[in-house]
Amino acid sequence: MKRKLIAFLIVCTIMLTGCGSGGGSSSDSKKLDNNSKVTKSNFKKFPTTDGKLFEYTLADDGDVNHIKITGIKSPDDDKLKVVVVPKTITVKTVDGNVKKTVVAVSGLSNLDKAEAIVLPNTVKEIGDSAFVNNDKLRFIHLGDSVEKTGGKLFINSPIEFIDIPDSMQHMGNTLNDYTLLNDQIAQSIGSDRPLKYIIIPGTLTDFSNLYLPAPDTKGPIIKTPKGSEGEKWAKYWGFKVEYIKGKVVTPERSFWGEQLEKKEAEKSKESE
């Protein structure tokens, strides 16, 4: 009888414990919303923003099923703390409601409360000045599939870091090419909210001919694979480099490799 009672108590204990853990802790079940604190660790976990809040047009690639985000409808543009762009938006057509894929983004600017912007992996292109004048913007996720961007993306938007995905092929516009990193670093130097680091993949070679006022200027840490164009560019300007793992592509002509060699040769002559 005593053994049966002990066995019964053990089973009850297991069942109660299982029920307690199965529901998850209060912190796990707590949902992020517009009143939640935005942090580096959670900003990509916020719920997708309602597609009805976005302005859009057909994308430039000619595919009628592709659209480009061009902004957020007023007055919603001054309410959102985290903008999570959806992969698709339902569009009313003569044939009924049709889901169209978001492949390009621009116009997410002048957002009064936005602290973070998250792009989906469907986005291939980001337009000029896409995220400017967002005074409170701290974090941005460009997705894992974006291939090219325009220039002057983050002017007057004090983001803490730039994480460039491996998919990126070109950064900068055609009129004033490769101005992206130049502008962001220049506005960051001496700021009370400086740019902390930039991750440059070893596969990206077409990203900067930028001019800075003087070499060896204190700026962000550059995280990039050893031997990459990002490393050569960073060393030329005197930025601290932290090496990360990743594939490295060597271009036919290494512009920053040439510049770095010239700089080192000049230093060698001066020391003789």
For residue 222, the domain's CATH number is 3.80.10.10
**pLDDT > 50? residue 109:** yes
Q: 4-8, 44-48, 55-59, 163-167 — which is least confidently predicted?
A: 4-8
Tokens 């599939």 belong to 145
- Establish whether the linkage from the previous residue to 75 is cis, with ω within 30° of 0: yes
Answer whether residue 43 shows pLDDT above 80. yes
Q: Is residue 203 part of a domain?
A: yes
Domain containing residue 195: 37-266
**Residue of 208, 217, 221, 220 lying closest to 259 (CA atoms):** 208
11-33: per-residue pLDDT in tens? 444 444 444 433 333 343 369 99
Residue 207: name the closest of 148, 122, 128 by CA: 148
Q: Is residue 22 part of a domain?
A: no
Q: Is residue 226 part of a domain?
A: yes
Mean pLDDT of 251-268: 88
- Examine residue 138 and state whether it is found in any structural domain, yes or no: yes
Element (H, E) at 42: none
In angstroms, rounded to a whole number, what is the distance separating the alpha carbons of residues 65 and 102? 9
In a domain, 208, yes or no: yes
Band of pLDDT at residue 127, cut at 50, 70 and 90: very high
Answer yes or no: is 112 within a domain.
yes
Q: What is the pLDDT of residue 25?
A: 37
Residues 258-270, mean pLDDT to the nearest whole number = 87
In the chain, count of helices (H) and strands (E)? 5, 14
More confident site: 184 or 77: 77
This prediction's pTM: 0.83
Instruction: Please tell me the distance from the alpha carbon of residue 158 to that of residue 155, in angstroms, as a whole number.
Output: 8
Q: What is the pLDDT of residues 186-239, one digit of tens each?
A: 666 666 778 889 999 999 987 765 555 444 457 789 999 999 999 998 888 888
Domain count, the chain: 1
Q: Is residue 4 part of a domain?
A: no
Task: Read off the pLDDT band of 177 (50, 70, 90).
Answer: very low
Q: Which of 73-77, 118-122, 129-133 bottoms out in mean pLDDT, i.e. has the lowest?
A: 73-77
Nearest partner of 207 among 269, 249, 157, judged by Cα: 249
